[in-house]
Amino acid sequence: MTNPRATTTTVAEEPWDSADGVLLRDAMQAELAARYGMPDQETDKPTAETVSVFLVARDQQGGAIGCGALRLQDDGTAEIKRMYVDPEARGTGAATGILRALEDHARQRGADSVVLSTGTEQPDAIRFYEREGYQLFDGFGPFAGHPMARFFTRRLG
C-alpha cells in the first residue's frame, strides 16, 4: 500500500554548520527537552570534527525537513547521530531515506555495522528502528545501562 503522505525527498551531504543543519538540530534538541522534561544530558556531543558525514533531507520545494550524522568508531562500527525529521514531514519516507543514506556512507567507510541510541520517551523512533531491521542490544557509551536509554544495532551486508 502506498503511503498517501509520501513525498519525493532528496538526501545530500552538507556541512555540519550549515544554517539548515543548525536549525534542524536545534529543533531536535527542543523536542527532546520537551519529551524528557530536561535539556540534553549528552556528554560526548558530535561536532564538525567528529562526524564523518552530515546529511540533510529536503522536500520537493528544497525545504530542509530532516537530518542525520555518522560518527565512525574505533571498533569498526559507525554511530548514527542527530537523526531527526520535522514533525510535519514524518510519515513521508524522509527518515528512511536519511537512514539508508547513512548506512550507505557507513559501508563506504568500511563499517560492518551501525549503532544508535534513543530513549523511552521516543516510542515513535523505537518503532521506526525496529521496523527498519534494527535490533536492541545492551548499549554503549555514557548512557549504557540507563533505564531510559535504548540502543539499536544493524549489521551492514
Between 76 and 57, the more confident residue is 57
Q: Is the pLDDT of residue 93 over 70?
A: yes
CB hemisphere CA count around 107 (13 angstroms): 10
- The model's pTM is 0.92
Rounded CA separation 16/157 (Å): 27
What's the pLDDT score for residue 121?
A: 93
pLDDT in tens, 102-115: 999 999 999 999 99
Q: What is the DSSP letter of 135?
A: E
Per DSSP, the three-state class of 149 is strand
